[in-house]
């Protein structure tokens, strides 16, 4: 992925280039990453919804496309990273810390591209363990703790970056509106867990 990200940066004149990030669901996916990446369906809508901030960084586009922000696996120069700086005040799972950096960089004039041929696949949850979704306790307790942390960090991000989001996205939406959409998405994920668990057992 790194050579592809670097080549796209040079070809497009981008300041930041992000990789595609599909999520593996089974051991079979992890056994053949190249085949898994090739199986992902093509993009069928916008890469980033500018109102809700929902992003589809798992889907391949026809080629590199400019974006308001990308997934956490991105290439950036040391100089730009030092100038923009990461906000170290995000807590818990630190959700939105990368988006915070990217939105501020974009608002400051940085060009950001999504490169679908560079792939950073996420291992199946059962195999990956740890990370932002790790911790002790039952599955439900871990997930609720994750979503609680994500919601708090998302609200902090939205309030802090109101002007930067307008510059980066070209559209203004109240922070509470974006937060409401985010909470609705969390509710849908939680409601869908029983069906996902049944599907995993069926495999």
> How far apart (Å, rounded) are the C-alpha atoms in residues 142 and 144?
6
> How far apart (Å, rounded) are the C-alpha atoms in residues 1 and 42?
19
Mean pLDDT of 48-58: 93
What residues form DSSP beta bridges with 23?
122
CB 80 within 8 A of CB 133: no
**117-146 burial, b if ≥16 CB within 10 A, otherwise e?**
bbbbbbebbeeeeeeeeeeeeeeeeebebb
Using DSSP's 3-state secondary structure scheme, residue 167 falls into helix
Helix ranges (H only) for 40-96 are 78-84
Joined together, the tokens standing for residue 187 give 């509710």
The CA-atom distances, in angstroms, between 79 and each of 15, 82, 85 are 10, 5, 10
- pLDDT higher than 70, residue 25: yes
What is the per-residue pLDDT across 151-200, written as a single tens digit (0 to 9) for each?
999 999 999 999 999 999 988 999 999 999 999 999 998 888 776 666 66
Mutual orientation of helices 97-107 and 162-169 as an angle, nearest 10°? 60
Its pTM stands at: 0.88
pLDDT score for 123 = 86
pLDDT score for 129 = 65
Residue 201's pLDDT band, with cuts at 50, 70 and 90, is low
**88-98 burial, b if ≥16 CB within 10 A, otherwise e?**
eebeebbbbbb
What is the per-residue pLDDT across 112-134, written as a single tens digit (0 to 9) for each?
999 999 999 888 877 766 666 66
What is the per-residue pLDDT across 56-109, written as a single tens digit (0 to 9) for each?
999 999 999 999 999 999 999 999 999 999 999 999 999 999 999 999 999 999
């Amino acid at each position: 992925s790194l050579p592809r990200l670097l080549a796209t940066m040079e070809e497009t004149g981008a300041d930041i280039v992000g990789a595609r990030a599909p999520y593996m669901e089974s051991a079979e996916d992890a056994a053949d990453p190249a085949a898994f990446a090739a199986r992902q369906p093509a993009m069928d809508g916008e890469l980033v919804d500018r109102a809700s901030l929902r992003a589809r960084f798992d889907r391949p586009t026809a080629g590199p496309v400019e974006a308001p922000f990308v997934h956490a696996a991105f290439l950036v120069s040391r100089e730009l990273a030092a100038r923009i700086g990461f906000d170290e005040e995000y807590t818990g799972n630190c959700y939105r810390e990368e988006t915070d950096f990217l939105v501020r960089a974009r608002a400051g004039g940085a060009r950001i591209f999504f490169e679908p041929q560079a792939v950073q696949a996420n291992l199946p949850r059962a195999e990956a363990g740890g990370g932002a979704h790790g911790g002790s306790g039952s599955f439900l307790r871990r997930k609720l703790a994750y979503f609680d942390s994500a919601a708090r960090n998302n609200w902090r991000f939205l309030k802090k970056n109101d002007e930067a989001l307008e510059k980066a996205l070209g559209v203004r939406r109240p922070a509470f509106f974006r937060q409401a959409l985010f909470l609705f998405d969390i509710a849908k994920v939680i409601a869908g867990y029983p069906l996902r668990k049944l599907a995993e057992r069926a495999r």
